[in-house]
Amino acid sequence: MRYLPLGFDVKDRSCLIVGGGSIATRKARLLNKAGARLIVVSPEITDELRQLSAGSGGEWYKSGYAVDYLQQAELVVAASDSEVINAQVSADAQAQRLPVNAVDAPELCTFTFPAIVERGDLSIGISSGGAAPVLARRIRAQLEALLSPGLGPLVDLAARMRARVKAALPEARRKNFWEWVFAGPVANRIEAGQLEDAENEILKALRDWQGNPSPVGEVYLVGGGPGDPDLLTFRALRLMQQADVVLYDRLVSPEVMELVRRDAERIYVGKKKAFHAVPQDDINQLLVNLARDGKKVLRLKGGDPFIFGRGGEEIDKLSEAGIPFQVVPGITAASGCASYAGIPLTHRDHAQSVRFITGHLKDGSLDLPWKELAGPGQTLVFYMGLTGLQTICAQLINHGLDQGTPAALVEKGTTQEQRVVVGDLTSLPGLAENSEVRAPTLTIIGGVVGLREKLQWFRPD
């Protein structure tokens, strides 16, 4: 590490910029945002740089560089178009022990400008020491996507409450309290724009913490998508990294589980036909119990928790128990698997509507509105329909759907193990058996399946 990352307080301090072009203007924007007084030396400058300097209480010297200008400076930026001038500015500044940055010349710098991720008073600098600035900017872009815009207001709230928390709680408990604030309902209120509610929440929690050593935790009901971890939402990723314990089912892919916080406790509660690792009522109660222990609980489900995921049952129990919770939708299997199979669920020429249907057998039969499902101009997507595939196809034919209607099975969709089997209502059950298709598999029926041969794009390695 060549450069030591430090925070530099430039508020109301004079910062000298030698140069007046676009590069000098970019540096001036950063310094201005931090409250610096901008002294600019250049025969010509951009309109924006002139405005920044004047607005900061600084001054523009319409002349060439001279060493005397350093007398006004506490920090120096050499950003002229001349390498010779920049080198002279650097040498003069270092001779006077002033911190100096020479643009695109790391060997002339005593400090560099990092790529900055900013959320109010919270800032993150990414630096390659001038060796790979493009890489630093790419990393900044990734962090920008991951970090919530609500972090700035959250920092502001923490600043206002810091003295009150310090007076109310002993040092041993303050860290845990702030951990709860930054990862719990207070942060969620701020992300939703409910700033007043967030402040009320933290005040109420502070009273509770003074009298109750074990405040209630929170449950995150998160959709893990159909398998490809790249399909997770940014919010899902943030909460997966915050959780103390995770309850997950068998439809959550190993690749998605790799993104869960490493030291989180993991509890498998998966279900498959005729076998539940943990009964649903027990899962509901376990969520309540863990939250009452003060844990941040991640309930991670394949697909979307509100589409055949029993998410509604779980948060109903949490609501009754007074447990804070939030729900993060995921890409449901119908959308993800169909897209990766090259099958558009709707198409002006083939399907004007789409229906998601449970294909889960109950008492050996499927109680579904078959006449409606056999209607024209729609796409049918059956979840958990592999076991009842013979019945599904036969019922649709019996109720008027053409036996030549295209149909497909998508096994382990969106993953590197994806397989797609295409046929029609007559042939699909036999194809499934001959191909030894296994769950999890999605069934898609309708004219849109006929587009797969032309539109398929995802080819697993």
Say which CATH number the domain at 236 has: 3.40.1010.10
- Is 124 a domain residue? no
Instruction: Output the tens digit of pLDDT for each of the chain's 461 residues.
Output: 778 888 889 999 999 999 999 999 999 999 999 999 999 999 999 999 999 999 999 999 999 999 999 999 999 999 999 999 999 999 999 999 999 999 989 899 999 888 888 888 888 989 887 788 899 889 989 888 878 888 899 999 999 999 999 999 888 788 878 888 887 778 878 888 899 999 998 998 888 888 766 667 889 999 999 999 999 998 899 899 989 999 999 999 999 999 999 999 999 998 665 555 689 999 999 999 999 988 889 999 999 999 998 999 999 999 999 998 999 999 999 999 999 999 999 999 999 999 999 987 555 568 899 999 999 999 999 998 898 999 999 999 999 999 999 999 999 999 999 999 999 999 999 999 999 999 999 999 999 999 999 999 999 87
Q: Is 43 annotated as a binding residue?
A: yes
81 is catalytic: no
Active site residue 273: no
* Same domain flag for 315 and 226: yes
In a domain, 123, yes or no: no
Q: Looking at the domain assignment, is residue 146 inside a domain?
A: no
Of these residues, 27, 249, 295, 296, which one is catalytic?
A: 249
302 is in an annotated binding site: yes
Question: Is residue 8 in a domain?
Answer: no
Shared domain check, 222 and 204? no
| Residues 330 and 247 sit within 8 Å (Cβ to Cβ) | no
Q: Is residue 301 part of a domain?
A: yes
Global pTM value? 0.67
Whether residues 176 and 238 fall in one domain: no
Question: Which residues, including other chains, have CB under 8 Å from residue 97's CB and lie 6 or more apart?
Answer: none
Domain span holding position 407: 337-455
Q: Residue 133: count other Cβ atoms within 10 Å of its Cβ.
A: 18
Q: Identify the CATH number of the domain in which residue 390 sits.
A: 3.30.950.10
Query: Of 271, 295, 328, which residue constitutes the final position of a domain?
Result: 328
Domain count, the chain: 4
In a domain, 227, yes or no: yes
On whether the CB atoms of residues 165 and 175 are closer than 8 A, the answer is: no
The Cα angle at residue 404 between residues 403 and 410, in degrees rounded to 5: 100
Q: Is 413 annotated as a binding residue?
A: yes
Q: Which amino acid is at 57?
A: G
Q: What is the dihedral of CA 92, 96, 98, 104, to 10 degrees?
A: 20
Q: Are 226 and 414 in contact (CB under 8 A)?
A: yes
Q: Which of 197, 244, 271, 402 is catalytic?
A: 271
The reply to whether 404 and 311 lie within a common domain is: no
In a domain, 435, yes or no: yes
Note whether 33 and 10 are within 8 A (CB).
no
226 is in an annotated binding site: yes
Q: Is the dihedral of CA 72, 76, 79, 84 positive or negative?
A: positive
Q: Verify that 370 and 432 share a domain, yes or no.
A: yes
- The domain that holds 74 is classified in CATH as 3.40.50.720
Residue 137 domain flag: no
